[in-house]
Chains A and B, each alone.
Chain A
Amino acid sequence: MSLLLAASLLSSTLLGYLVATLFLPEYKPKWADALLNISLGAGLGVGLSSCCYFIVRLLAGPSITPYLIAELLLLIAAGAASWLARNRAVMSGPHANPAGWSWLLLVALAAALGIAASLFVDSSVSNPYGGWDAWAFWNLRAQLMAQPDALWRTAFAPALNRLAGLGATHPDYPLLLSGYVAGCWSLMRSISNVSAPIATAALFSFGTVALLVSALAIVRGWSTAMLGGLILLGTAGFLLDSAWQYADVPLGFYFLAVFVLFFLADAETSGRPLVLAGLAMGFAAWTKNEGLVFALLAGLGFLVYPWLSKKTRWPKMLALIAAGSVVPLGLALYFKFFLAPPTGTYAALTIKDAAQRLTQIPRYTQIIKSFWDETVALGSGIAHPAISLALLGGLLGIPRDRRRQPAVIVSGAVLLGVALAYFFTYVVTPLDLTWHLGTSMGRLYMQLWPSVVFLSLAAFRTAEETAIVIQHPQKAGREARKKTRKARVS
């Protein structure tokens, strides 16, 4: 059983890894390049496998054989493409290897990682079915989707809207997470086996940390990378949500992947990483409804960016993003408009109701207070990730040129836009506001937080940039003498 689960996870990760290496250049140092490709590959692979599972079920029926053949063909195609047409450019970034005292940061990160891993295991053992939304929505729909006959369509049946006369279990939610878990269960021939959703949660949680660390190492160097990982692992909400098996950590992974790939594309000329950015954007839309909002705003950001950065090859850029996003985004929209039952929290919202709520000031203050409470809950008193970020921002500052960098401005604007969209979603919500805030704001925070850490640290001056490089007089003299001797010999 566990071998089949391992095969399922490895197959999707390998698929994602091959796709990542196809479009990304080789980065220096090698450890960051490998970590980036593996972590990005793990998340993108889940998305690819989930889309493949759903499309095969739609087109060829619920038998496992066509899915296995399709996944195998995808693997062969990705392997061949990666072999023949991979991006062979080599990109050297800032200094991303430890020196002197900065080794200590690696020790601290390893300790934090150990704490997070131990907590994840303990939480998963004590609560193997995850949090409420995991068993009530995501894994329930995975169970239905994994059925080996026509029953798989009950995963988005209108009956889920009013189970035994109760409220909805959201049959309109996109199916990336449920589809992937269902795929694992189908392969394992053990529906509802808790190891599959637990492993998927681990893959996204630790994949997010690895993606953040590797991307910051490539973009900004060693100490920023270590600090990024430490700050994320020092976030209570992230540690808590990691083992809950919800779709919010995967969504946070895809948001982060879009920003990371946008930065990587900004630093090179081929634009190929934008295909992966489009793919991650599409997977965000296939993960949760909030991902559709993100895809819309990120799409707008990608439209503004070439104008802001005065890039002349914008049609090519947009074509690359569209090429990456067309399948998952198209699938998410097709599901929304043609398969999912017409439901959802906001389906019954009228313009009159929304306008009325928009003018109620107490709603705004209640949302701001809840936001503050959730922010405070991210840490433990002064040991708080926001304080750590503020300290670094205050003491290291933001270089002038980076403040004007189009990638920084556009990414920040997209993230702010998504946060504002969430804010106004609460303002107009037809649900009881106190209940709605209490049950969802912490999770929405975790969707955005890894990207907040990445964008903040990518904007700040790095520790290495503040260093004053001096020549050691004795050693410098010795080096000079050596050079002179060599020159004489030659």
Chain B
Amino acid sequence: MEIAAYPARTLIGVSLAAALSLYAALDFYGEQMERNKVARDPYQIANQEKRFEPLKNELPRGEMVGYVSDVPVESAIILSAQYALAPLMLVVSPPHGWVIGNFSKPLNYAEFGSARGLTLVKEFPNGVVLYRKPTQ
């Protein structure tokens, strides 16, 4: 019968490495669970999908559309709208003149559009508006 005896340094090394790793996992678990409670869908993608769904059904799939908003241009807002609107593509110069309005608060959307040379086509709930830009 063979018995393996391990040197103390081996036992210390293995025990410490295992204990430290387990503690690190547990510690991070606590931290991240707290963060998860606070930051639920921080970019509101689920909400954007709901907001844009009715408009998405009105336009031909894959249409290139323009974008206007009452809030300054910000990557998070435009990219989350793009994710929700795909396969529609948000571009600077839409070939067929469709422009999507993405608003943070109720306002006179027709006036907002006409100030930018856009004609209001349809208002959807939650600050989503479809405009048309006359094609030259």
List chain A residues, Cβ under 8 A from B23: 234, 380, 383
Determine whether A63 belongs to the interface, using a CB cutoff of 8 Å to chain B: no
Q: How far is the CA of A112 from the CA of B90 in the complex (A)?
A: 44
Q: How far is the CA of A242 from the CA of B131 in the complex (A)?
A: 41
Q: Which residue of A lies closest to B21 (CB)?
A: A234
Q: For the complex, what is the distance from the CA of A116 to the CA of B32, rounded to whole Å?
A: 11
B75 interfacial by beta-carbon distance below 8 Å? yes
Which A residues are CB-close (under 8 A) to B11?
Answer: 101
- Is the beta-carbon distance between B45 and A108 smaller than 8 angstroms? no
Q: Are A234 and B4 in contact (CB under 8 A)?
A: no
A44-52, A286-294, A298-306, A460-468 - the one binding chain B: A460-468
Q: Is the CB of A239 within 8 A of B28?
A: yes
B residues 1-60 near A (Cβ < 8 Å) are: 1-7, 9-14, 16-29, 32-33, 36-37, 39-43, 45-46, 49
Are B64 and A159 closer than 8 Å at their CB atoms? Answer: yes
Which one, A160-168, A344-352, A421-429, is touching chain B?
A160-168
Complex Cα distance A233/B24, Å? 9
Asked if A431 is an interface residue, CB under 8 A from chain B, the answer is no
B20 touches A144 (CB 8 A): no
Chain A neighbourhood of B121, CB < 8 A:
none
Give the docked Cα–Cα distance between A25 and B37 (Å): 47
Q: Is the interface of A mostly helix, strand, loop or mixed?
A: helix
Stretch at the interface among A73-81, A389-397, A399-407, A409-417: A389-397
- Among candidates B25, B32, B78, residue contacting A112 with C-beta atoms closer than 8 Å: B25
Nearest-Cβ distance from residue A413 to partner chain B, whole angstroms: 26
Nearest Cβ on chain A to B67's Cβ, whole angstroms: 4
- Per-position contact with A for B64-92: 1 when CB-CB < 8 Å, else 0? 10110000010110111011001101111
Contact residues, A109-151 vs B (CB, 8 A): 111-112, 115-116, 118-119, 122-123, 126-129, 132, 135-136, 139-140, 143-144, 147, 149, 151
Evaluate contact between B75 and A166: CB separation under 8 angstroms: yes
Q: Which of A128, A240, A466 has the most CB of B within 10 A?
A: A466
Cβ of B61 < 8 Å from any Cβ of A?
yes
Asked if A380 meets B28 with Cβ closer than 8 Å, knowing A227-B14, A469-B4, A470-B3, the reply is yes
Given contacts A140-B82, A164-B78, contact A469 B2 (CB under 8 A): yes
A477 → B minimal CB distance (Å) = 9
Cβ of B24 and Cβ of A234 under 8 Å apart?
Answer: yes
Q: How far is the CB of A186 from chain B (nearest CB, A)?
A: 14
Q: Which of B46, B73, B87 interacts with A144 by CB under 8 Å?
A: B87
Would you give the shortest CB distance from A425 to chain B, in whole angstroms?
22
By beta carbon, the residue of chain A nearest B89 is: A159
Is the CB of A379 closer than 8 A to any CB of chain B? Answer: yes
Does A353 sit at the interface, judged by CB under 8 A?
Answer: no
Q: Are A230 and B18 in contact (CB under 8 A)?
A: yes
CB distance from A292 to the nearest CB of B (A): 25
Beta-carbon contact of B1 and A162 below 8 Å: no
Option from A162, A233, A392, A476 in Cβ contact (under 8 Å) with B17 = A392
What is the size category of the interface that chain B forms with chain A? 35 or more
Q: Cβ of A463: which chain B residues have Cβ within 8 Å of it?
A: 6, 10, 13-14
Q: Give complex CA distance A389, B62 in Å.
A: 51
A199 at interface (Cβ–Cβ under 8 A)?
no
Query: Residue of A at shortest CB range from B26?
Result: A115
B22→A127 contact, CB < 8 A: no
B-side contacts of A223, CB under 8 Å: 14
Give chain B residues whose Cβ lies under 8 Å from the Cβ of A162. 91-92
- A469-B4, A476-B1 known; A391 vs B16 contact (CB < 8 Å): yes
Structural contact, A128 and B21, CB atoms closer than 8 A: no
CB of A169 within 8 A of CB of B79, answer yes
From A163, A236, A476, contact of B28 by CB (8 A): A236
Contact A239 B17, beta carbon cutoff 8 Å:
no
CB proximity of A465 to chain B, nearest CB, Å: 9
A-chain residues with CB within 8 Å of residue B46 when the two chains form the complex: 128-129
Across-interface contacts of A384 in B (CB, < 8 A): 20, 24
Q: Which of A129, A234, A235 contacts B45 (CB 8 A)?
A: A129
Nearest chain-A residue to B86 (Cβ)? Answer: A143
A54→B91 CA distance, assembly (Å): 26
> Which residues of A have CB within 8 Å of B17?
227, 230-231, 388-389, 391-392
Rounded to whole angstroms, the CA-CA distance of A231 and B18 in the bound complex is 7
Does A370 interact with chain B (Cβ within 8 Å)?
no
Pairwise interchain contact B21-A388, C-beta atoms closer than 8 A = yes
Which chain B residues lie closer than 8 Å to A230 at the CB level? 17-18, 21-22
Whole-angstrom distance between the alpha carbons of A226 and B92 in the complex? 54
In the assembled complex, the Cα of A192 lies from the Cα of B84 at a distance in Å of 9
Min C-beta distance of A339 to chain B, whole Å: 17
Interface residues of B (CB under 8 A from A): 1-7, 9-14, 16-29, 32-33, 36-37, 39-43, 45-46, 49, 61-62, 64, 66-67, 73, 75-76, 78-80, 82-83, 86-87, 89-92
In the complex, besides A136-B79, A234-B20, A379-B24, 10 extra interface pairs with C-beta distance below 8 angstroms are A105-B14, A118-B29, A159-B89, A163-B91, A164-B78, A169-B79, A385-B24, A394-B13, A470-B3, A470-B4
The 7 closest A-B pairs by CB, nearest first: A234-B21, A395-B13, A475-B1, A234-B24, A467-B4, A383-B24, A164-B90
Query: Could you write out 26 A-B pairs with CB less than 8 Å apart?
Result: A105-B14, A112-B22, A115-B25, A115-B26, A118-B29, A119-B33, A122-B33, A136-B83, A139-B83, A140-B82, A140-B86, A151-B87, A154-B89, A164-B82, A164-B90, A165-B92, A227-B14, A227-B17, A233-B25, A239-B25, A383-B21, A385-B21, A463-B6, A467-B6, A468-B5, A470-B3
